[in-house]
Chain A
Amino acid sequence: MKKRIWVFAEYVNCTLDRVALELLTKAKELASGLTGETEVAAVLLGSRIGSTCKTLAEYGAEKIYLAESDELSLYNPMLYAPIIAELVQKEDPDIFLFGATAIGSELGPTVAAQLKTGVAAHCVDMRIDENEHLVASVPSFGGKILGEILCPDTRPQMASVKPGIFVQGEPEEGEAEIIRVDVSGIKADNLPLKALSLEKKEIEGVPLDKAEVVFCGGYGLGCKDCWEKLEKLAAIFGGAAACTRPVVDEGWAPGEHVMVGTSGKSIRPKAYVGFGISGATHHICGMKDSGLVINVNKDEKAAVFEVSDAGAVADLNKVLDQLILKLN
Chain B
Amino acid sequence: MALKIVVCIKPVPDPDYYDKVSIDPVTKRITREGIPTIINPVDKNGIEAALKLKAQYGGKVTVITMAPPNATENLKEALAMGADEAVLLSDRAFGGADTLATSYTLAKGIEKIGGFDIVFCGTESADGATAQVSSQLGEWLGVPHLWSVFNMEASSEQCLRVKTKAENGFMEWDIKLPCLLGVSRELNKPRFISAMGIIKAKNKPISIWGKSDLDVEDERLGLTGSPTKAGAIFTPDLKRKGEMLTGSAEEIADAIIEKLRAAGVNIPTQGDACSIEGGAQ
- On A, residues with C-beta under 8 Å from B are 12, 17, 74-75, 77-78, 100-103, 105-106, 108-110, 112-114, 116-122, 135, 138-154, 163, 191-201, 203, 212-213, 235-239, 256-257, 262-263, 270-271, 273, 280-282, 284, 288, 291-294, 296, 303, 305-315, 318-319, 321-323, 325-328
B257 & A327 in contact (Cβ 8 Å cutoff): yes
Cβ-neighbour of B249 out of A119, A282, A294, A319 (below 8 A): A319
Complex interface: stretch among B44-52, B112-120, B199-207, B221-229: B221-229
Q: 12 new A-B pairs (CB below 8 Å) besides A113-B103, A309-B241?
A: A74-B171, A106-B135, A110-B139, A113-B140, A119-B228, A140-B129, A193-B175, A198-B172, A270-B263, A288-B236, A294-B260, A327-B268
Complex interface: stretch among B16-24, B58-66, B67-75, B81-89: B16-24
A194 & B173 in contact (Cβ 8 Å cutoff): yes
Query: In the complex, how many angstroms separate the beta carbon of B200 from the nearest chain A beta carbon?
Result: 31
B33, CB-defined interface residue at 8 Å: no
A141 & B127 in contact (Cβ 8 Å cutoff): yes
B168, CB-defined interface residue at 8 Å: yes
17 contacts between A and B (CB under 8 A): A109-B132, A109-B135, A114-B139, A144-B22, A144-B235, A145-B235, A147-B232, A148-B230, A149-B228, A149-B231, A151-B229, A282-B15, A296-B252, A307-B240, A310-B243, A310-B259, A312-B244
Interface residues of B, count at CB 8 A? 87
Kindly identify, within residues 239 to 281 of chain B, every residue whose CB is under 8 Å from any CB belonging to chain A. 239-246, 249-250, 252-257, 259-260, 263-268, 270, 272-273, 276-277
A313 & B99 in contact (Cβ 8 Å cutoff): no
Query: In the complex, how many angstroms separate the beta carbon of A28 from the nearest chain B beta carbon?
Result: 24
Given contacts A102-B166, A152-B229, A271-B260, is CB(A146)–CB(B136) below 8 Å?
Answer: no
Interface string of B144-170 (1 = CB under 8 A from A): 111110000000000000001111111
Given contacts A238-B266, A271-B260, A311-B243, is CB(A113)–CB(B164) below 8 Å?
Answer: no
- On B, residues with C-beta under 8 Å from A are 13, 15, 18-19, 21-23, 30, 98-100, 103, 124, 126-132, 135-136, 138-140, 143-148, 164-176, 179, 182, 226-236, 238-246, 249-250, 252-257, 259-260, 263-268, 270, 272-273, 276-277
Cβ-neighbour of B236 out of A78, A143, A271, A310 (below 8 A): A143
B174 & A106 in contact (Cβ 8 Å cutoff): no
A282–B14 CA distance with the chains assembled, in angstroms: 13
Residues in chain A near residue B164, CB distance under 8 A: 102
A189–B98 CA distance with the chains assembled, in angstroms: 34
| In the complex, residue of chain B having the shortest beta-carbon distance to the beta carbon of A196 | B172
Residues in chain B near residue A288, CB distance under 8 A: 236, 238
A213–B259 CA distance with the chains assembled, in angstroms: 12
A197–B99 CA distance with the chains assembled, in angstroms: 30
Cβ-neighbour of B260 out of A135, A196, A213, A328 (below 8 A): A213
Given contacts A284-B238, A327-B257, is CB(A321)–CB(B249) below 8 Å?
Answer: yes
B253 & A323 in contact (Cβ 8 Å cutoff): yes
A6–B138 CA distance with the chains assembled, in angstroms: 25
B273 & A236 in contact (Cβ 8 Å cutoff): yes
A192 & B179 in contact (Cβ 8 Å cutoff): yes
Query: In the complex, how many angstroms separate the beta carbon of B220 from the nearest chain A beta carbon?
Result: 9
Query: In the complex, how many angstroms separate the beta carbon of A319 from the nearest chain B beta carbon?
Result: 5
A110 & B138 in contact (Cβ 8 Å cutoff): yes
| In the complex, residue of chain A having the shortest beta-carbon distance to the beta carbon of B234 | A146
B264 & A270 in contact (Cβ 8 Å cutoff): yes
Residues in chain A near residue B255, CB distance under 8 A: 310, 312
Which 3 pairs from chain A and chain B are nearest by CB? Answer: A148-B231, A118-B227, A121-B130
A149–B130 CA distance with the chains assembled, in angstroms: 12
Residues in chain A near residue B235, CB distance under 8 A: 144-146
A106 & B229 in contact (Cβ 8 Å cutoff): no
Given contacts A200-B168, A292-B259, is CB(A308)–CB(B240) below 8 Å?
Answer: yes
| In the complex, residue of chain A having the shortest beta-carbon distance to the beta carbon of B269 | A327
Given contacts A112-B100, A144-B21, A196-B173, is CB(A271)–CB(B138) below 8 Å?
Answer: no
Residues in chain A near residue B241, CB distance under 8 A: 309
Query: In the complex, how many angstroms separate the beta carbon of A63 from the nearest chain B beta carbon?
Result: 25
| In the complex, residue of chain A having the shortest beta-carbon distance to the beta carbon of B161 | A196
Given contacts A147-B230, A311-B242, is CB(A292)–CB(B173) below 8 Å?
Answer: no
Residues in chain B near residue A154, CB distance under 8 A: 227
Query: In the complex, how many angstroms separate the beta carbon of A47 from the nearest chain B beta carbon?
Result: 16
Given contacts A322-B249, A323-B257, is CB(A122)–CB(B227) below 8 Å?
Answer: no
A201 & B168 in contact (Cβ 8 Å cutoff): yes
A174–B78 CA distance with the chains assembled, in angstroms: 56
Cβ-neighbour of B240 out of A257, A309, A312, A327 (below 8 A): A309
B167 & A319 in contact (Cβ 8 Å cutoff): no
A306 & B249 in contact (Cβ 8 Å cutoff): no
Query: In the complex, how many angstroms separate the beta carbon of B4 from the nearest chain A beta carbon?
Result: 17
Query: In the complex, how many angstroms separate the beta carbon of B262 from the nearest chain A beta carbon?
Result: 8
B19 & A236 in contact (Cβ 8 Å cutoff): no
Residues in chain B near residue A200, CB distance under 8 A: 166, 168-169
A191 & B124 in contact (Cβ 8 Å cutoff): no
| In the complex, residue of chain B having the shortest beta-carbon distance to the beta carbon of A307 | B238
Residues in chain B near residue A100, CB distance under 8 A: 131
| In the complex, residue of chain A having the shortest beta-carbon distance to the beta carbon of B133 | A109
Residues in chain B near residue A270, CB distance under 8 A: 263-265
Residues in chain B near residue A142, CB distance under 8 A: 15, 18, 126, 129
